[in-house]
Structure 1
Amino acid sequence: MAYRTVPSLRFDERKMERPRVPRTEELEFGGPTGISLLTVGMPALGLYLLLTCNTKSASVLEGPGPAPSLQSLWNPIAMALVLGWVALQVGLHLLPIGEPHLGVTLSNNTRLRYKINAFLVFNLSAILAGFAVLGKVPFQYVADHYVEFASASALLSMVLGVFLYIKSLSAPDHALAARGNSGIPLYDFFFGRELNPRIGSFDLKYFFDLQLVNASWGMILLCLLVRDITAHGSSCHALVLVSGFQAFYILDSLWYQEMILTTMGFVHHGFGFALAFRDLCWVPFIHSLQVYYLVRHPYELKTSAAIGIIILNAVGYTIYRESNTMKHAFRLDPTDPHLARYRIQTIQSTSGRRLFLGGWWRVVRHPNYLGDIIMALAWSLPCGFNHLLPYFYFVYLTIFLAYRAAKDEQRCLRKYGQAWQEYCRRVPYKIFPCIY
């Protein structure tokens, strides 16, 4: 993989203007009341889904039965292994490997330096995992105690969220995130007060939101696959297919790892409990829900259906990758000659910024979201149609991305004004062509 090395920036901090980040005025999800419900509701929903998956009926309407006791969710071995896994990833990240890369310009006209090595670290983790498999390490233990590992990860995310909030209280004003700077402790704890919290040069948001989340997701897939093979002597085709789709998605995210530095979420959102819970618990355990479901409820997939699903996933990936690559290239250099094949057109805003039309961005305003949703459907279809449970991720992602698209467009309207209105006139659909 080719990395773009950039020179360091030198500036006189005494002469550097350090503007204050304005207070958060528009509170999302109903403000403190809604945030309170989400803080409790997200872990509860994840627990409900995993416990339901363990039942014979796997019915989201019937549920898992009586609520489990707190003691049944606590496993000190699971917590020790989760902490050990995080420590291992930290150690691998600190190795002198990778290339330096500068992030976007911040509000105080500085750019943070990142060590881009998540793909290399993932490969090292995979090699270590391979040796562990050969050494007969019982990876199936994670699958057999899946709920307990998810509970440990959720608890760790809560502790991390508290640490991040306390740390943000000593952060300078220019380092705060506009979304999590409301002055309401619970609200700011949830969204994250500090935009890019660091311990020295160790960037916590980059580590958790790119390296750890993908490495943990990949490790969960390995544990579930080993569990299935251990139990049945082989793995069903549907499980292998979904695992393959998700593993490819992980590798793709890591291969294009530097693109995360220009994404709207990474640039504008702080690092708080919401992102910590997503990285430590939600993505590794809930995004892999289809695989866990197939371990508990095997399903035989016909060859013709598998081929159709592979094609569907390929279509979704093509839309997702091409649109994201194009967006990233345009943000770095609007004159990039590689963009010529997309027949780029631009719309000039009064602020001097430009919007572009080209490729999939001529079809809908958020084609990367469309590709993601198509892939989510392809990950669910191999589970068959006996239960709604494995389609939770597809439904949840569709609703979440529709909400995010609406918030993105509000921000773009404020940022680009009439230029954004003109873009919406030329591209009338947000995510789904001719529908929405």
Structure 2
Amino acid sequence: MVVSSGPLNPKTASYEFNGISGVLGITFGLPLLCVVLNQMIRPDFYIVGLFTNLDIAELWNHIKPLKWYLTNKELWTYYLTWFGVLALFDVLLPGNTIDGVELRDGTKLPYKINGIALTSTLLATLTVRWQLTKGEMPELQYLYENQTDLCIITVIFAFVMAFFLYAASFIPLAHKNGKETRERILSVSGNTGNPVYDWFIGRELNPRLGPLDLKLFCELRPGLLLWFLINVACLHHHYLATGEVNNAILFVTLAQGFYVFDGVLNEEGCLTMMDITTDGFGYMLAFGDLALVPFTYSLQARYLSVSPITLSRPYLAFLSSTMALGYYIFHSANKQKSDFRQGKLPHLKSIDTKRGTKLLCDGWWGISQHMNYFGDWLISLSWCLATGFQTPLTYYYSLYFAALLVHRQQRDEHLCKIKYGDDWHRYESEVPYKIVPYVY
């Protein structure tokens, strides 16, 4: 066990997102964007001429006062039941327990990996409900018809959760005997002492509610699976309205469903990601995981349920090939890096660092510094292309995802320059491209 020689919780010396002004802009700007995007995709809103016929006042016709959302028992019951049942499943369903990465105090947190049990339970529940309701599925109809209202409820929930997480980060953890306490491990980026910034970034690194790891749970359960459920609701709505299954919306539902369940079933891979190992859990991740992912990543299915298009077989084959290529690059690059860290690929070229570790610069990781990001972006592009070219609105995901990946690469590069010093400059000379080979 190696314990860091520095302070357990070093003070954060620099601000990201252009400091407090940027943080406040994101805090209120992104929820507004979520609502606007959901309002744009309505059967009674003219989407095709998005930028020439945009009526801002029309976007707010279906938005109620804030008090209505705060006191709406039906919406809160719907969402809290979804969140609470998934939390119970996460704790109670069987699975293997593995350790996460070593923390600054030399300990490792245990994580229950039960994605297979959860996926099986969810799909079985949907199948049973389909049989019992003879295909009506009122829960899916409610989700489809109240998507914008549920989006606002989820945003409010993320705000509340972030305040709870921030307050709880100041309470010392009790040892098993209940008589002694120890300091919580804080995020290296969320310990500035500024309450607004730390609330946004996340002060505590791995907040837990009993056996439930809140950050990993929110990363992989309520938001990610709600994205899949919204897509299914859109497909279901189109089927009820037309009696047909449109191949474009079916492709998007199946392709994104595969992506979602691939993440859930390979959840142990998240334990080494920046979100889990470095970032605190505050408003940034709570809002992103719970609201931004399900209510903006589902725009393609939402759009196709309103304005369906039929894909030709050659074009459908092109979309499937693009996604398959992206998935192959994404999956094989991540596996190659994981195998290298476990010492399984000693023949691959690497750079020895003064820290005693190695920087891989061969295979996929000799082509670009984040080849997995490039594969992930190709996957996103295939989904957007399935909506045709009638509106730029459905390309939001691919454009946003590109900006997100570039920002994540820049954050990672900043941390690596601090961590590796001159060794990182040697690595950059070996692998000059950041994400897209021969481009960036």
Query: For residue 57 of structure 1, what is the aligned residue in structure 2?
Result: 47
3-state secondary structure, aligned to 1:179: coil
Match of 2:65 in 1: 71
**Where do residues 370-409 of structure 1 align in structure 2 (5 Å cutoff)?**
370-409=374-413
SS of residue matched to 1:104: strand
Q: Would the aligned equivalents of 1:103 and 1:112 in 2 still touch at CA under 8 Å?
A: yes
Matching residue of 1:3 = none
1:229 maps to: 239
Matches of 2:4 and 2:392 in 1, distance apart?
55
Instruction: Pick one of 74, 87, 90 that aligns with 2:84.
Output: 87
Measured against aligned partners, the alpha-carbon deviations of 1:253-276 in whole angstroms (never above 9, x if no partner) come to 122111110112210001111111
Deviates more, 1:168-177 or 1:300-309: 168-177
Following TM superposition, by how much is the alpha carbon of 1:376 offset from its aligned partner in structure 2, in angstroms? 0.9
Alignment of 1:271-350 (within 5 A): 271-331=281-341, 333=342, 335-336=343-344, 339=345, 343-350=347-354
Is the contact between residue 52 and residue 63 of structure 1 (CA under 8 Å) also seen in structure 2?
no
Q: 2:261 pairs with 235, 241, 251, which one?
A: 251
Native 8 Å contact 2:228 2:253 kept in 1: no
CA RMSD of aligned residues (A): 2.0
Correspondence 1:187 to 2:191? no
Contact 2:361 2:430 in 1 (8 A): no
Per-residue Cα deviation, 1:140-171 (whole angstroms, up to 9, x for no partner): 22111110111111111111111111111224
Q: What's the TM-score, normalizing by structure 1? A: 0.91
Counterpart for residue 223 of structure 2: 213
2:179 maps to none
Equivalent residue of 2:335, what SS? Answer: helix
1:432 alignment partner AA? V
TM-score (norm 2): 0.90
1:153 and 2:147 equivalent?
no
Q: Secondary structure at the match of 2:65?
A: helix
Contact 1:48 1:64 in 2 (8 A): no
The question of whether the paired residues in 2 share the 8 Å contact of 1:190 and 1:273 is answered with yes
1:45 aligns with 2:33: yes
- For 1:350, give the aligned amino acid: K
Q: Which residue of 2 aligns with 1:143?
A: 144
Distance 2:246 2:192 in 1: 50
Aligned position for 2:175 = none
Equivalents in 1 of 2:362, 2:32: separation in Å? 42
Contact 2:100 2:109 (8 Å CA) reproduced: yes
Instruction: Indicate the percent of aligned positions where both proteins have the same amino acid.
Output: 32
Q: Assess if the C-alpha contact under 8 Å between 1:19 and 1:173 holds in 2.
A: no
Encode CA deviations 1:334-379: one digit per residue, 9 max, x unaligned. Answer: x22xx36xx5111001111110123211111101110111111101
The letter for the 1-side match of 2:33 is L
User: Which residue type is aligned with residue 157 of structure 1?
Assistant: A
Which residue of the partner structure matches residue 5 of structure 1?
none
Amino acid at match of 1:190: F
Bigger CA drift: 209-218 or 64-73? 64-73
Query: Does 2:170 match 1:169?
Result: yes
Structure-2 change in CA distance of 1:419 and 1:301 (3 Å): same
What is the match of residue 360 of structure 2?
Answer: 356
Query: Do the aligned partners of 2:93 and 2:117 also contact (CA within 8 Å) in 1?
Result: no
Checking the alignment, whether the CA contact within 8 Å between 2:187 and 2:202 is kept in structure 1 is: yes
Change (3 A) 1:80 1:390: same
Which of 8, 17, 26 is equivalent to 1:29? 17
- Among residues 193, 199, 204, which one is paired with 2:209 in the alignment? 199
Take 2:103 and 2:340, find their aligned partners in 1: how far apart are those partners?
A: 19
Structure 2: distance between partners of 1:26 and 1:173: 23
Q: Kindly provide the CA deviation profile for residues 244-297 of structure 1, in whole angstroms up to 9, marking residues without a partner as x.
A: 110111121122111110112210001111111112111111111111111111
Asked if the contact 1:194–1:270 (Cα under 8 Å) also holds between the matched residues in 2, the reply is: yes
Gaps of 5+ in 1: 1-8
**Take 2:409 and 2:4, find their aligned partners in 1: how far apart are those partners?**
35
> What amino acid is the match of 2:171?
S
Moved more, 115-124 or 18-27: 18-27
